[in-house]
Amino acid sequence: MTEEDIEKENATIAKAYKELLKVSYRTLSSEDKKLIRSAFEVALDGHKNQRRKSGEAYIFHPIAVAKIVAQEIGLDATSIAAALLHDVVEDSPDYEIKDIEKRFGKTIARIVEGLTKISSLSKDKDMDVSLQAENFRKMLLTLNDDVRVIIIKIADRLHNMQTMDSMRPDKQDKIASETLYIYAPLAHRIGLYNIKTQLEDLSLKYTEPDVYNDILHKIKESKEEQDLYIKDFSEVIKNALDKENFEYSIKGRPKSIFSIRRKMLAQGVSFDEVYDKFAIRIIYKSEIPDEKFLAWKIYSIVTDHFRPNPMRLRDWITSPKSTGYEALHITVMGPKGRWVEVQVRSERMNEIAEKGYAAHYKYKNNSEKEDSLESWINRLQEALESTEINAVDFVEQFKLNLYSQEIFVFTPNGDLKSLPKGATSLDFAFNIHTEIGMKTRGAKVNGKLVPLSHVLETGDQVEVLTSESAKPNQNWLDYATTARARGKIKSALKEDKKRIGEDGKEILRRKLKQLKITLNERSINELVNYFKLKTSLDLFYRVGIGSIDNTMIKNFAASRSNALMSFIKSKITRKANIPKEEIEKNEVTTNFDSLVFGREEEKLDYKLANCCNPIPGDQVFGFLTVSEGIKVHKKNCPNALSLQSNYAYRIMTARWVDSTQQEFLAQITLTGIDHIGLVNEITSIVSENMHVNMKSISFESDEGLFSGKINVVVKNNTIIKKLLEKLKKINGIDKVTRV
């Protein structure tokens, strides 16, 4: 750059800084201006060697963010200074948080640190949706430090969206998608409606440029006709308001491109068929005590001249939105048979709609301001809280609750509560208090008993019925719609599942011990695969609630034993080359439950690979990993080819060897002629035989004939054969077979 260019740029920077001071929503004292000047000088120094993608000096970005904070959001000098400094620590090696604290104090340092943390979450990363969502949740944790962190971050995102033309298309799409997914809903919740609208429109510009440009073109095409229509409509209202000596202004404005697009999609209509593409706003002067009276007076005047649609009346003056929004929305039939939305707001309400919390703050007296800020942050945190559900569910629930319409219901004492439209009596219970929600057993709406799934309507009076024995169950997730209720229910169910799972694990340990199976990592993996579950907790939980019962566990043990027996028989048959019939005569069968590795057949520590879950008897090999020692894979593992071709030097030969004797489950069936004492005689013979453990017995008798089943655990085939021979000798037994 030439000296002349540098001078011009410096003059432009100075002009932008002076403009920042002029446009502040707050009245800035001389101390405020000194603070802002000092922050500007540090930002100027910290970014002196930086330029944006567009080529302009980087300092223009923090000035623009500070201007949004000062003018559009209306925050104080502390926030303006923090906005100027928001990138200094991250981008300049000359400044650390301790330097900011030393020069500007703890509050500004805390805000700048929060903003630095948020920036580091996602900088230059290609994020999938789950990572975006997790970062969003982390970002919201900064509320515990200072809510201004998030407000300044929204301003930062708005300016980035306004100046994104010089970025690569893939970056534009990524940033715009993240903005729609996270920042626009958050701006809505904080009450920054103007910024929310800008973020949505700018996001659509980059995610669907053809759609955006088409709607923008059509709005411009119809602007002249629209302006004329608004003028004719407003003239009628003006004349009536003038007669009543109102001080007011009337503004006509088109609906946002994003909202028009949303209506087109929701209603399945074209641009021309969207009937309320613009709104008329009446902003009147009023003392606070008279606001409500004057709003309804204006309503009366408007509806005297134009027929209202009673289904689309929205009274957010009597019951403000949870974001603090207040207004009266009337939809009337205007000239040429077109619906027109008329928004009636006092000047105070209009400022709140445009500035969010800053305007609330302005209208509080000094003693109320601190409490007001505290309660506002608490309400915001309430809307954002949920630590147990996964991040994607959290964001989806958060967004769902943000954009939903509100209903207003009463407690038994007459207190008013706002809930999202579609909320149920269970949602109401959790809205009152978490402990009440957890103990809910029912509800009464307008004096009548209703189920927990009952959908509430505006004006309902709701009484929650509780019981100490009541607790959440899985069905409650079908009844609850709000993020708060669902988050608490999921958290409770998760804890309940853990508790039941701990009990189930002990039950399973005892049952397996009876089957001579040790509960360890290997047997747990086998059980998880056998029952087609995902985790060991799923397994323990199902045992705990009884959905995996004794029979199923025994069947698992039997299948395990049968698999081993089949393998052993095939191995013995192959090695000894003897007929299968002779194998049955072997007194003791072998159990392949120990692994040896390499030519020396050493016993080494190992882990079974989760990708193929090898079991005793499988053809296997060892793979020497970097951090987890030897991992054992099946020879036909999906990863075997890759491991053996790419890491041949890490492959170790491995095989199962005989170790200890295994007990096996066998079932014996008996038929014959029934007589007194038969069952006692059978059980005596079974119990007297060494090495036989009777697990269950069942008999049926029909017209003098009987049939029975006995499940026994034995060491080997010889023992079972001896037992069968003894049972056949009992008087009346016709047939004894092993299944």
Active site residue 90: yes
Element holding 418 (H helix, E strand): strand 416-420
Place of tokens 């039941």: 500
What sign does the CA torsion over 493, 498, 501, 502 have? negative
Token pair, residue 714, equals 């034995």
Helices (H), 404-482: 425-432, 434-438, 476-479
- What is the spatial distance between Cα 295 and Cα 326, in angstroms, rounded to a whole number? 11
Q: What angle do CA 431, 435, 440 make, to 5 degrees?
A: 80
Token pair, residue 533, equals 């579950």
Give the CA distances from residue 365 to residues 77, 360, 369, 370, 712, in Å, rounded to whole numbers and listed in that order: 19, 10, 6, 10, 84
Contact between 588 and 716 under an 8 Å Cβ cutoff? The reply is yes
Active site residue 146: no
Which residue in 9, 45, 56, 91 is the catalytic one?
A: 91
- What is the spatial distance between Cα 377 and Cα 394, in angstroms, rounded to a whole number? 19
- Residues found in the chain: 739
Which residue in 45, 56, 90, 388 is the catalytic one?
A: 90
- What is the spatial distance between Cα 426 and Cα 443, in angstroms, rounded to a whole number? 8
Helices (H), 404-480: 425-432, 434-438, 476-479
Give the CA distances from residue 558 to residues 319, 507, 565, in Å, rounded to whole numbers and listed in that order: 66, 19, 10
- What is the spatial distance between Cα 505 and Cα 323, in angstroms, rounded to a whole number? 47
Give the CA distances from residue 437 to residues 181, 411, 425, 494, in Å, rounded to whole numbers and listed in that order: 30, 14, 10, 16
What type of residue is 700? E
- What is the spatial distance between Cα 463 and Cα 115, in angstroms, rounded to a whole number? 43
Token pair, residue 634, equals 């099946």
DSSP code per residue over 659-718: -S---EEEEEEEEEE--TTHHHHHHHHHHHSTTEEEEEEEEEEETTEEEEEEEEEESSHH
Contact between 247 and 292 under an 8 Å Cβ cutoff? The reply is no
Neighbours of 535 (CB within 10 A): 11
Catalytic residue annotation: 90-91
